[in-house]
Structure 1
Amino acid sequence: MAAKGHVLVLPMPCQGHVTPLMELSHRLADEGFEVTFVNTEVDHALVLGALPAGGAAELRERGIHLAFIPDGLADGEDRKDINKLVDAYSRHMPGHLERLIRDMEAAGGRPKVRWLVGDVNMGWSFVVARKLGIRVASFWPAAAACLAIMLKIPKLVEDGVLNNKGWPERQETLQLAPGMPPLHTSLLSWNNAGAPEGQHIIFDLVCRNNKLNDIAEITVCNSFHEAEAGVFKLFPDLLPIGPLVADQELQRPVGHFLPEDTGCLEWLDAQTGGSVVYVAFGSMAIFDARQFQELAEGLELTGRPFLWVVRPDFTPGLSKLWLDSFRLRLASTGKGMIVTWCSQQRVLAHSAVACFVSHCGWNSTLEGVRNGVPFLCWPYFCDQFLDQNYVTAVWRTGLAVSPDEDGVVTKEEVRSKVEQVVGDTEIRERAQLLRDTARTCVTRGGSSHKNFKKFIDLLSE
């Protein structure tokens, strides 16, 4: 069967943006589209390095080609510094993207790119696409409520809630519409993305992207109607097509930057149903040594088995001696397991998992929701405070940690909150109801399924 058309997919260069766009790419490939997935050079190398042997060839066979362009930063520069990353890619990537598309066309052998499906955070790419006669669909990878607040910036400035630099003029709790999560003005995503002196870079990007998104013919997002009904009432043109998943068996690669430890799945198989505390803070969060130790000892205090994802760069400055003795204790009791990365979707789908101690990135939040897992929320930055408020205030499917006066979440707090979450039958019942709703949305006739069909019909034109 001839491909329906060639779609270029472009995520913002962060793990939490690559994953849902890779899931969407698999869905597009299932619908008969040919996809070119464009990462930055650095992320492309990470994705290739983390793929199982023959993974890239397998993706190509499915119709997904991996391509890359430079992000404008030098080799050793810190790509977790969002301000620096955004500043570099906004200036350097447009020229590189145009060159990549022109080179692909000149090489021939594949159909001409008809559509760009671009991350809203990469609004500059919509201008490049339009210049080359390519149609644009935009994709919002976070909570729709986060985009709604961004789109309301002019109104918030006009109402005197924000100044024209994006900083709050008043300390108050915002709620844009009934059913939307309340959010304190000190926790707006663009003011919590990194060092305050670089905040203007993020705020300018957000304001620019709000305007550039008008170039897109459609904006789809990884959410579902019932999860964020208040937002979709406010912005009916925003189409939720989630929760996205690459395949039902969770076997297809979704563009991880780190190789997955699959041994943890066998370890989970050996645990009692509903007993394990799963702990993971995504790809960006950093803990200092003191906080790391409090969390570790708190997990031990629960007396429950736990699976904890600790990236190699999670806690710079942690005593290796301390970590080694902690690992030894775990090995001798068999009570806990530490891995550097895992297939989170398969872990959360496992019947042994009792609760999810999470930074509340949107992908993690939806993956927990889709599996009916109760949350203990521990947000780190950006939009994660908003996601926490969905969990604690709107869906009521979990609780949040409370740091002490030094800003530290103590081991006693970890133990006590884990017990509260796991022991609360009402939280668990609400989580299961939300899971059932999420699953209904993506099945035939469900709201996300209908929106996805609308999206596919547009891309097929």
Structure 2
Amino acid sequence: MGVQRHVLFVPIPAQGHVAPLMKLAQQIADYDIKVTFVNTEFIHNKIISSLPENYYDENRRQRLKLVSVPDGLGPEDNRTDFLKLTDSMLRVTPGYLKDLIDQSNRIGEGEEITCLIGDLSVGWAFKIAEEMGIMRAALLPCASAALALTLQVPKLIETGIIDTNGTTLKNELIHLSKGMPSWSSYELIWSCQNDLATQKVFFDYTADTHKTMEIVNWILCNSSYEIDQPAFDLVPNVLPIGPLLASKHTNGIIGRQEIKDKIKKLLSDDGIRETSLKLMEVARKSVSQGGSSKRNLEYFIEQIKG
């Protein structure tokens, strides 16, 4: 009998990052792989309190364990202050994460961490995993176009479109490829024109993306070839496994009907609605049996099992 695989998930504490990683964790657990999902204590408590009573039964508890580590802030601190939260986490959280891995590895008998899957922004967690000889997979929680843009940062600086703080110097459209929409220089993913200190933190995260990509074994993306092919042509080493849609197991976090209801409420324009429904159908097919994202996910799972 082979080694029991045990995957550790590490998101950054923000809804748009925790949610897709949680959905991926649930899918991997359904393949009989042991999963431990690590949140900060603040986010962990919010998730536990929001789960329905029948969600965390004994069967799921055996496959998916939710745990927490401190973020270094006190109960009185404002966790919407991204600068303060980031600084605190970088000082204290890596030590707690390493201790958690050490404790799990000492137990043995299938508890050893064999792979760490984290948000692309948690480079510090991947460094710990690399030092401990643990396989590493980074998930880009958004569309691949964001990564394609990030990888162009050195060129954008060289051509004088932005400076080394991410501030735009030229008011011109940025074209990455013929099949992709253009960006205004004031619509870059790290832009915070009214808060340059926060912008600098976001921009530094994008700069670290290059380093993170060098130390991970796989780069996953919450999108599909069918939706983002022009962007994936610019980042060929990325494995699309999304969109990570809510399953029947995730109704306590976000349900498909909830998504549909919100879309119906927000979209009143017939043209927009028609386009959105077509994209939803493309997404559904890409994650269904035989779709490219389904095949990619199964390939990835075979890799971490092997």
Correspondence list, 1:176-325, <5 A: 176-192=176-192, 195-247=195-247, 249=248, 251-252=249-250, 256=253
Q: Give the structure 2 partner of residue 449 of structure 1.
A: 294
Instruction: State how far apart, in whole Å, the 2-side matches of 1:428 and 1:199 are.
Output: 33
Report if the CA contact (8 A) 1:9-1:35 is conserved. yes
Q: Give the structure 1 partner of residue 264 of structure 2.
A: 355
Q: Give the structure 2 partner of residue 111 of structure 1.
A: 111
- Shift in Å, 1:202: 2.2
AA of the residue aligned to 2:229: A
Equivalent position to 1:440, from 280, 285, 289: 285
Report if the CA contact (8 A) 1:117-1:136 is conserved. yes
Instruction: State how far apart, in whole Å, the 1-side matches of 2:75 and 2:284 are.
Output: 42
Report if the CA contact (8 A) 2:6-2:111 is conserved. yes
Instruction: State how far apart, in whole Å, the 1-side matches of 2:99 and 2:136 are.
Output: 18
Q: Give the structure 1 partner of residue 19 of structure 2.
A: 19
- Shift in Å, 1:58: 4.7
CA RMSD of aligned residues (A): 2.3
Question: Based on CA coordinates, which of the two structures has the bigger radius of gyration?
Answer: 1
Correspondence list, 1:363-442, <5 A: 375=267, 418=268, 421=269, 424=270, 426-442=271-287
Instruction: State how far apart, in whole Å, the 1-side matches of 2:193 and 2:228 are.
Output: 23
Farther off after superposition, 180-189 or 26-35: 180-189
Instruction: State how far apart, in whole Å, the 2-side matches of 1:253 and 1:104 are.
Output: 30
Report if the CA contact (8 A) 2:116-2:135 is conserved. yes
Report if the CA contact (8 A) 2:3-2:110 is conserved. no
Instruction: State how far apart, in whole Å, the 1-side matches of 2:194 and 2:51 are.
Output: 30
AA of the residue aligned to 1:458: Q
Instruction: State how far apart, in whole Å, the 2-side matches of 1:59 and 1:159 are.
Output: 55
SS at match of 2:213: helix
- Shift in Å, 1:34: 0.3
Report if the CA contact (8 A) 1:87-1:201 is conserved. no
AA of the residue aligned to 2:301: I
- Map Cα deviations across residues 157-207 of structure 1 (whole Å, 9 max, x no partner): 111111112111101121211222222111212222972233222222221
Report if the CA contact (8 A) 1:27-1:246 is conserved. no
1:152 lines up with 2:152 in the alignment: yes
- Shift in Å, 1:17: 1.0
Instruction: State how far apart, in whole Å, the 1-side matches of 2:212 and 2:99 are.
Output: 21
- Shift in Å, 1:3: 8.0
- Shift in Å, 1:155: 1.2
Q: Give the structure 1 partner of residue 129 of structure 2.
A: 129
Report if the CA contact (8 A) 2:161-2:168 is conserved. yes
- Shift in Å, 1:21: 0.7
Equivalent position to 1:346, from 254, 257, 266: 257
Report if the CA contact (8 A) 2:224-2:241 is conserved. yes
AA of the residue aligned to 2:224: F
- Map Cα deviations across residues 290-327 of structure 1 (whole Å, 9 max, x no partner): xxxxxxxxxxxxxxxxxxxxxxxxxxxxxxxxxxxxxx
Structure 1 alignment gaps of length 5 or more:
257-342, 358-374, 376-417
Task: Flag the 1:430–1:439 CA change in 2: closer, same or farther, 3 A.
Answer: same
- Map Cα deviations across residues 28-74 of structure 1 (whole Å, 9 max, x no partner): 01111100000001111111111122544457435000111111222
SS at match of 2:186: helix
Report if the CA contact (8 A) 2:246-2:256 is conserved. no
- Map Cα deviations across residues 230-273 of structure 1 (whole Å, 9 max, x no partner): 110111111111111342x3x4256x4xxxxxxxxxxxxxxxxx
AA of the residue aligned to 1:252: T
Report if the CA contact (8 A) 1:138-1:216 is conserved. yes
Number of corresponding residues: 306
Report if the CA contact (8 A) 1:98-1:128 is conserved. yes
Instruction: State how far apart, in whole Å, the 1-side matches of 2:204 and 2:46 are.
Output: 29
- Shift in Å, 1:345: 3.0
Task: Flag the 1:222–1:356 CA change in 2: closer, same or farther, 3 A.
Answer: farther
Q: What TM-score results when the alignment is normalised by the length of structure 2?
A: 0.91
Task: Flag the 1:23–1:194 CA change in 2: closer, same or farther, 3 A.
Answer: farther
Instruction: State how far apart, in whole Å, the 2-side matches of 1:95 and 1:55 are.
Output: 31
- Shift in Å, 1:220: 0.6
SS at match of 2:65: strand
Q: Give the structure 2 partner of residue 30 of structure 1.
A: 30
